[in-house]
């Protein structure tokens, strides 16, 4: 299988065989083309496929898997909307199949990661769980009674739930979305705006907070508070047994999980308290889930 997991910044790709063996894992820059954003992605995938044919001439993929961020309708194969990458109602699966000449499993990047975590990783064994990926944006994969819940692609857009009615305008057009406060990119941006010091990412903000920088500490605390509030709403609505957290922000480890757990406890009363678990499959979860979907498409695995 040829698998590609498209992110807001980078695209991860590989060839994956039926046993799960990964060949030629690559990370490339996600292309941007305002005039044809979906076409740019598929053209990039075609170039990757050509490179793999040259690198592994004896390997012949029987299917492809492609996952992208934003609003995705897996049933119709449509990339409905992406605020970060700029497409609307793009027939992504049809484009990929016609370009690659392969049956293509098309889906959402975080739901692909959630499927991998549920089948192979930290959500394994839980019938009701939410896998939340916090990176450039924030999105979730919802698992109910052991099955993914997508609701036509609209479920799981946690990053675009309201956190601050008087907050910043989000790339989606709304005001005060969770990801304008608590995504890894938002943490870095908010710190730079308040301090006048540019930083590459949230990791540097956390390091500054740990060294006594009051502005960094405030930005970090606000992100944790916003996550706790949204998680409390998810608990009240869906009652997950576990919330699995992945993405760049999860790399903070106990600096995220300890205060997040404490603040979540303070917000809950009679509710079932989910365990907060760090994602087990790391940055490759989306790629693995995408490969699983391609494998399922051609009947080579459960």
Q: What is the total count of domains within the chain?
A: 2
Answer whether residue 251 is part of any domain: yes
pLDDT of 301 higher than 90:
no
Residue ranges of alpha helices (H) inside the chain are 37-55, 92-100, 109-120, 179-182, 184-195, 202-210, 214-238, 254-267, 285-297
Residue 302: pLDDT over 50: no
Residue ranges making up the domain that contains 289: 2-112+283-297
Over the stretch 13-31, which tens digit does the pLDDT of each residue have? 999 987 778 999 999 999 9
Summarize pLDDT for 93-128 with one digit per residue, the tens: 999 999 999 999 999 999 999 999 999 999 999 999
pLDDT at 45: 96
Based on the fold, state whether residues 104 and 161 are members of the same structural domain.
Answer: no
On whether residue 117 sits in a domain, the answer given is no
Residue 300 pLDDT exceeds 70: no
Mean pLDDT, the chain, as a whole number?
94
- 265 and 204 together in one domain: yes
195-211 mean pLDDT: 96
Output the pTM of the full model: 0.89
Claim to verify: residue 159 and residue 137 sit in the same structural domain? yes
CB burial readout 145-174, b (16+ within 10 A) else e:
eeebebeebebbbbbbbebeeebbebbbee
**Hey, which residues does 162 pair with through a beta bridge?**
177
């Amino acid at each position: 299988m040829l698998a590609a997991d498209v992110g807001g910044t980078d695209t991860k790709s590989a060839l994956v065989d039926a046993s799960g063996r990964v060949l030629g894992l690559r990370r490339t820059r996600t292309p941007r083309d305002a005039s044809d954003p979906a076409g740019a992605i598929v053209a990039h995938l075609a170039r990757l496929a050509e490179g793999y044919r040259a690198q592994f001439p004896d390997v012949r993929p029987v299917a492809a898997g492609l996952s992208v961020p934003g609003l995705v309708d897996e049933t119709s194969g449509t990339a409905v909307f992406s605020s970060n990458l700029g497409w609307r109602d793009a027939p992504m699966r049809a484009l990929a199949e016609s370009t690659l000449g392969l049956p293509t499993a098309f889906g959402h990047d975080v739901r692909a990661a959630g499927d991998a975590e549920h089948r192979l990783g930290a959500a394994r064994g839980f019938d009701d769980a939410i896998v939340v990926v916090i990176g450039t944006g924030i999105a979730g994969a919802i698992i109910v009674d052991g099955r993914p819940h997508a609701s036509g692609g609209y479920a799981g857009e946690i990053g675009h739930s309201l956190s601050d009615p008087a907050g910043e305008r989000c790339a989606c057009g709304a005001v005060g979305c969770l990801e304008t406060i608590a995504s890894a990119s938002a943490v870095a941006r908010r710190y730079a705006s308040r301090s006048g010091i540019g930083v590459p990412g949230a990791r540097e903000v956390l390091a500054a907070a740990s060294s006594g920088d009051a502005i960094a500490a405030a930005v970090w605390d606000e992100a944790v508070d916003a996550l706790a509030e949204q998680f409390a709403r998810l608990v009240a609505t869906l009652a997950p047994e576990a919330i699995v957290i992945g993405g760049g922000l999860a790399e903070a480890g106990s600096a995220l999980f300890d205060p997040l757990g404490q603040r979540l406890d303070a917000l809950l009363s009679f509710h079932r308290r989910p365990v907060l678990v760090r994602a087990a499959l790391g940055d490759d979860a989306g790629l693995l889930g995408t490969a699983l979907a391609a494998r399922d498409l051609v009947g080579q695995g459960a």
